[in-house]
Amino acid sequence: MQISRIASPLKLLTIALKVGRVTKKYPFGPPLLTESFRGAISIDPAKCWGCGACTLVCPPNALTMRLEGEKIVLEYFKGRCIFCGMCADTCPANAITVTKEFELAATSVEDLKEDVIHKMSKCAICGKPFVATAEIRDVMKMQPITEEYANICPECRKKRAVKAFGMRFGAST
């Protein structure tokens, strides 16, 4: 009885000595980050087209796109993001990268928002803004179509095609 009372703490002590110290010194030391950890995403404004592909795949709508006059605003709300990384997989321009940032705590929700503001380019015929300038610029690089076509909004392009089609079959317009 007496021996076991002394021996059991000793047994614990030997185990504790073998294991050593396991506590992470986190705020004063480095965090425990693995290779596969996914944190907040970062959007590179130099590469982003403003196409909105990421907003379509985002499960919780953390990435949203809205029109503000003649500007397209891509908004990233870290507070709603589930850090799945689907946007980074989908991005056609590889503008989105997954970082290892996790110290995102904030005292207000506004601090967790990130805006990427795109200029819109205007239609050459009707003058209506229809798509981000960066998208035209980068698509032209990949698929060289005539600039005449690229600067026209889909509606005007449709009208033009109908007109051309009609002229071909001798309709008077």
Partner 1 sequence: MKLEERLRGVRRSPWVYHLNSGSCNACDIEILDALTPFFDAERFGVKLVASPRHADVVLFTGPVTREALPKVVKTLKAVPRPRIVVAIGSCAVGGGIWWNTYSTIGGFEKFQGVLKQQGVEIDKVVYVPGCPARPEAIIYGLLLALGYVKQKVSKVVKVVES
What residues line the site for partner 1 (CB under 8 A)? 22-24, 26-27, 31-32, 40, 43, 45-46, 48, 50, 59-62, 77-83, 102-119, 132-134, 137
* Phi, psi (deg, nearest 5) at residue 108: -135, 155
Q: How far is the CB of 100 from partner 1 (least distance, A)?
A: 11
Nearer to partner 1 by Cβ, of 109 and 171: the residue is: 109
Nearer to partner 1 by Cβ, of 83 and 130: the residue is: 83
Write b or e for each residue in 49-79: b if 16 or more Cβ atoms lie within 10 A of its Cβ, otherwise e.
bbbeebbeebeeebbebeeeeeebebbbbbe
Q: How far is the CB of 157 from partner 1 (least distance, A)?
A: 22
Nearer to partner 1 by Cβ, of 9 and 45: the residue is: 45
SS3 15: helix
Nearer to partner 1 by Cβ, of 33 and 167: the residue is: 33
Q: How far is the CB of 73 from partner 1 (least distance, A)?
A: 9
Beta-ladder partners of 96: 43
Q: How far is the CB of 112 from partner 1 (least distance, A)?
A: 6
Q: How far is the CB of 87 from partner 1 (least distance, A)?
A: 14
| Alpha carbon distance 24, 4 (integer Å) | 33
Nearer to partner 1 by Cβ, of 70 and 155: the residue is: 70
For residues 113 and 76, the answer to whether their CB atoms sit within 8 Å is yes
List Cβ neighbours of 100 (8 Å cut-off, separation of 6 or more). 33, 37, 38, 39
Please state, in angstroms and as integers, the Cα–Cα distance from residue 69 to each residue in 21, 60, 121, 128, following that order: 59, 26, 12, 11
For residues 75 and 64, the answer to whether their CB atoms sit within 8 Å is yes
